């Protein structure tokens, strides 16, 4: 049996040896062909064949944006250095033995202003789409970078990887295992058959370093996994058709796409294109509602801006109404001191979700809209924000007798606060006009033609006069209307440069309430929901409704939503004010308490500093409205801020007695029981002395239920003494 099996074994051996060289030859031939594909693909990659023209445009755009950001960062550092030099120079000048030349200090201040102006100019400068030269430079730069990578061995290692795989397949299984799955998959990607212009992955050694991927997906019950990228939000054909539908592109005219539409991570889309020479971006803006409709969106979901030339357009659009949900004020999250001149105060957000910050500088404001339009919330964002800059003196004149503006008085933030009084408003306006003259003299001594940031504190801070429901004083037939309007017009025309600005709030946006001579001098305007285009133009200016900015067209209307126009800040946009609630959540009081602590630390709470405006009002009327008057409720009275400590203790005792009688539910009380209810160590003897000194007199015989006639006080006598002390 053995002699029969052995020959069969010997006959099979030559067959295996004859087949082995054939398999090796096939392996070598396959890898030789794959190396050829790798070489072809590498040459195409070095020539940036995998990047189409759009990719290069985007690359050039990113490079321009990066350079612009670097310039801004560099200028911000220059501003910081200028501020530091000025601070050091000012500190030295305040020393008695200082030898700092005043002109040198003024020159340093000028350098600060110049650096800040350059920074603002840089921030306002738009980043235009790249030119053909910049696009070509971006492609050449990409080629150079890839050539450097190849010279460093990044891509050159790929053919060597092929040789290693070939060697492993021909008898080195341990080496093949060491290469790993990621390297094998990378070799597969770059060694496939290649045709020039074919969109395939570029050679990249990062594939070898990729993390292992778990290809086993955990399916959710009743759900299917779908990981394809979202489709483009807008195609070039759809954009072209929309522009033709509204008549901006006609016949054989074409638009030129400079940056193709791509959806970002927030679901928004931006496309840059050139309109036909016949029309302009300004004309397209007038048709924005029609364009939004042609694109299947609301006007609040589409934005058009000029991107350089008169025909170069930046179109932004989103899939969801950006104003649908209310947003809280950023100050609620971070209630810290603000530089309202340089950085502005956060008041609203625009279509793109960007916070709008209005700078408190040399301009006045008009905020208007019909009842329940949210103008009060919009104004509160502005005024509360201003409270966080202790250099701003707030003067608030209410148009109603409710408590809407009381928190500003109760926290001591309002330097002046009173409720409807035409006589007192006229006196306040005259005081501000007189202060304007004083400020101009101070600016002249400092060598300045108008208020600039470095000298705000040296001239007494900024003055912000807030007049709510201005129609209460300026509608035809109102007392002192002509005199008040004349003073307002003069202040708006000449006082802003001296740091005195107006904030006018009204629900009657009509020409006889805010005449053109007054409106034209208010540089920032916020038009919320109104009844018709005429009222909208009364706020924003003649012809604005026909230009597409019509505050009567909001559908649906939302509280705090309107057209915000501030040319000084480069803002002409739909905006919705942040949500600030006082009645239910007490947010305004909470923020003002934070602002009061900041002002107290700076010595700028009402009563902490010598206020020339309130001094003028006290001399003219005999009553003070500092911090809302004696009761801090907007009712002027005797100057409570200048009461002696003894008078304050007397008023506290009188108020304590009135409260004790309220608790006892009767109009008479004995000293003993009132002292016990007041508490805090108050005794009968001490209370008796305080009441006598306050003018309430001594005890009298009073009828007390259940006790009969006793020595005590009547409520009317206590109230009269308190009223006398408070100046009512």
Task: Please tell me if the domain spanning 330-407+449-602 has the same topology as the one spanning 645-726.
Answer: no
Q: Which residue has the higher pLDDT, 591 or 68?
A: 591
The pLDDT of residue 12: 46
For 508-542, the pLDDT digits (tens) are 888 899 999 999 999 999 999 999 999 999 899 88
Q: Which residue has the higher pLDDT, 568 or 591?
A: 591
For 305-328, the pLDDT digits (tens) are 888 889 999 999 988 889 999 999
Task: Give dist(CA 183, CA 241) in Å, integer.
Answer: 47
Domain formed by 645-726, architecture: Orthogonal Bundle (1.10)
Q: Which residue has the higher pLDDT, 257 or 382?
A: 382
The pLDDT of residue 511: 86
Task: Give dist(CA 195, CA 87) in Å, integer.
Answer: 66
Instruction: Say if CB 312 and CB 258 are below 8 A apart.
Output: yes
Instruction: Say if CB 451 and CB 443 are below 8 A apart.
Output: yes
Instruction: Say if CB 610 and CB 641 are below 8 A apart.
Output: no
Q: Which CATH class for the 236-317 domain?
A: alpha beta
For 248-296, the pLDDT digits (tens) are 999 999 999 887 777 776 778 888 999 999 999 999 998 998 999 999 8
Instruction: Say if CB 629 and CB 623 are below 8 A apart.
Output: yes
For 323-367, the pLDDT digits (tens) are 999 999 999 998 999 999 999 999 999 998 889 999 999 999 999
At 209, the pLDDT band (50, 70, 90 cuts) reads very low
91-100, 323-332, 445-454, 460-469: least confident range:
91-100
Determine what percent of the chain is predicted with pLDDT higher than 90. 48
Query: Which whole number is the average pLDDT over 464-484?
Result: 96
45-54, 164-173, 429-438, 647-656: least confident range:
164-173
pLDDT at 35 over 50: yes
Task: Give dist(CA 115, CA 216) in Å, integer.
Answer: 59
Q: Dihedral (C-alpha) 484, 486, 491, 493: value to the nearest 10 degrees?
A: 150
- The Cα-based distances of 475 to 405, 463, 469, 512 in angstroms read 22, 25, 10, 6
Instruction: Say if CB 539 and CB 551 are below 8 A apart.
Output: yes
Query: Which whole number is the average pLDDT over 700-724?
Result: 91
Most confident of 185-189, 554-558, 567-571: 554-558
At 680, the pLDDT band (50, 70, 90 cuts) reads confident
The pLDDT of residue 63: 83
For 55-75, the pLDDT digits (tens) are 777 777 788 888 888 888 888
Instruction: Say if CB 412 and CB 606 are below 8 A apart.
Output: yes
Average pLDDT, the chain: 81
CA end-to-end span of the chain: 136
Q: Which two tokens stand for residue 278?
A: 């016949």
The pLDDT of residue 567: 80
Most confident of 81-85, 122-126, 149-153: 81-85
pLDDT at 141 over 50: yes
Instruction: Say if CB 495 and CB 450 are below 8 A apart.
Output: no
The pLDDT of residue 728: 54
Per-domain boundaries in the chain: 23-178, 236-317, 330-407+449-602, 645-726
Q: What share of the chain is helix, strand, coil (3-state, %, to 5)?
A: 50, 15, 35
The pLDDT of residue 2: 42
Question: Strand, helix or coil at 568?
Answer: helix
The pLDDT of residue 331: 95
Q: Is domain 330-407+449-602 in CATH 2.60.120.10, yes or no?
A: no
Instruction: Say if CB 432 and CB 613 are below 8 A apart.
Output: yes
- The beta-strand segments (E) located in 175-300 are 256-263, 269-274
Most confident of 45-49, 617-621, 715-719, 721-725: 715-719
Phi/psi class of residue 5: alpha, beta or left (left: φ > 0; alpha: ψ in -120 to 50)? alpha
pLDDT at 478 over 50: yes
Q: What are phi and psi of 646, to 5 degrees?
A: -65, -40
At 117, the pLDDT band (50, 70, 90 cuts) reads low
């Amino acid at each position: 049996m053995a002699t029969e099996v052995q020959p069969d074994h010997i006959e099979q051996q030559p067959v295996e040896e004859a087949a082995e060289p054939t398999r090796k030859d096939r392996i070598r031939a396959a890898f030789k062909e794959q190396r050829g594909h790798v070489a072809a693909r590498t040459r195409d990659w070095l020539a940036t064949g995998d990047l189409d023209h759009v990719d290069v445009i985007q690359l050039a755009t990113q490079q321009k944006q990066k350079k612009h950001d670097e310039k801004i960062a560099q200028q911000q550092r220059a501003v910081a250095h200028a501020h530091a030099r000025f601070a050091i120079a000012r500190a030295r000048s305040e020393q008695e033995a200082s030898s700092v030349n005043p002109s040198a200090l003024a020159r340093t201040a000028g350098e600060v202003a110049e650096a800040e102006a350059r920074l603002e100019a840089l921030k306002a400068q738009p980043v235009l789409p790249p030119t053909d030269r910049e696009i070509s430079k971006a492609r050449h730069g990409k080629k150079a970078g890839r050539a450097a990578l190849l010279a460093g061995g990044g891509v050159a290692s790929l053919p060597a990887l092929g040789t290693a795989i070939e060697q492993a397949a021909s008898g080195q299984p341990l080496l093949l295992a060491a290469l790993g799955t990621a390297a094998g998959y990378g070799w597969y990607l770059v060694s496939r058959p290649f045709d020039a212009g074919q969109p395939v992955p570029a050679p990249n050694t990062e594939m070898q370093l990729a993390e292992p991927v778990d290809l086993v997906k955990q399916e959710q019950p009743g759900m299917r996994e779908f990981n394809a990228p979202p489709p483009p939000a807008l195609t070039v054909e759809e954009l072209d058709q929309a522009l033709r539908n509204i008549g901006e592109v006609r016949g054989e005219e074409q638009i030129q796409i400079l940056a193709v539409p791509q959806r970002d991570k927030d679901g928004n889309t931006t496309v840059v294109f050139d309109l036909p020479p016949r029309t302009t971006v300004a004309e397209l803006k007038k048709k924005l509602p029609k364009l939004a409709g042609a694109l299947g969106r609301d006007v609040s979901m589409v934005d058009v801006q000029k991107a350089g030339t008169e025909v170069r357009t930046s179109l932004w659009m989103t899939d969801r109404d950006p104003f649908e949900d209310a947003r809280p004020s950023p100050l609620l999250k971070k209630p810290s001191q603000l530089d309202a001149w340089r950085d502005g105060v956060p008041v609203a957000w625009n279509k793109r979700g960007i916070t709008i910050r209005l700078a408190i500088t040399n301009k006045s404001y008009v905020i208007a809209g019909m009842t329940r339009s949210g103008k009060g919330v919009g104004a509160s964002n502005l005024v509360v924000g201003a409270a966080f800059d202790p250099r701003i003196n707030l003067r608030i004149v209410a148009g109603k007798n409710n408590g809407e503006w009381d928190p500003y008085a109760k926290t001591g933030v309002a330097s002046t606060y009173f409720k409807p009084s035409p006589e007192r408003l006229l006196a306040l306006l005259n005081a501000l006009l007189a202060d304007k003259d004083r400020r101009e003299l101070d600016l002249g001594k400092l060598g300045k033609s108008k208020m600039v940031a470095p000298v705000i504190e040296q001239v007494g801070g900024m003055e912000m006069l807030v007049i709510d429901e201005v129609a209460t004083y300026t509608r035809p037939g109102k007392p002192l209307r002509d005199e008040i309007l004349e003073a307002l017009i003069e202040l708006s025309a000449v006082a802003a440069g001296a740091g005195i600005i107006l904030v006018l709030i009204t629900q009657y946006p009509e020409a006889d309430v805010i005449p053109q001579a007054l409106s034209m001098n208010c540089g920032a305007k916020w038009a919320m929901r109104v009844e018709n285009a005429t009222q909208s133009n009364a706020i924003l200016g003649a012809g604005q409704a026909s230009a597409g900015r019509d505050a009567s067209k909001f559908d649906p209307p939302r509280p705090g939503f309107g057209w915000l126009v501030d040319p000084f800040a480069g803002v002409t946009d739909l905006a919705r004010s942040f949500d600030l609630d006082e009645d239910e959540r007490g947010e305004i009081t909470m923020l003002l308490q934070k602002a009061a602590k900041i002002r107290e630390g700076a010595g700028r709470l009402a009563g902490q500093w010598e206020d020339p405006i309130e001094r003028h009002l006290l001399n003219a009327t005999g009553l003070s409205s500092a911090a809302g008057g004696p009761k801090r409720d907007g009712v002027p009275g005797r100057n409570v801020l200048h009461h002696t400590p003894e008078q304050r203790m007397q008023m506290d005792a009188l108020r304590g007695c009135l409260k004790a009688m309220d608790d006892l539910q009767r109009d008479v009380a004995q000293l003993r029981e009132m002292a016990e209810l007041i508490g805090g160590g108050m005794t009968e003897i001490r209370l008796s002395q305080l009441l006598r000194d306050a003018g309430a007199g001594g005890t009298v015989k009073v009828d007390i239920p259940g006790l009969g006639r006793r020595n005590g006080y009547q409520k009317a006598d206590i109230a009269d003494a308190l009223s006398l002390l408070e100046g009512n």
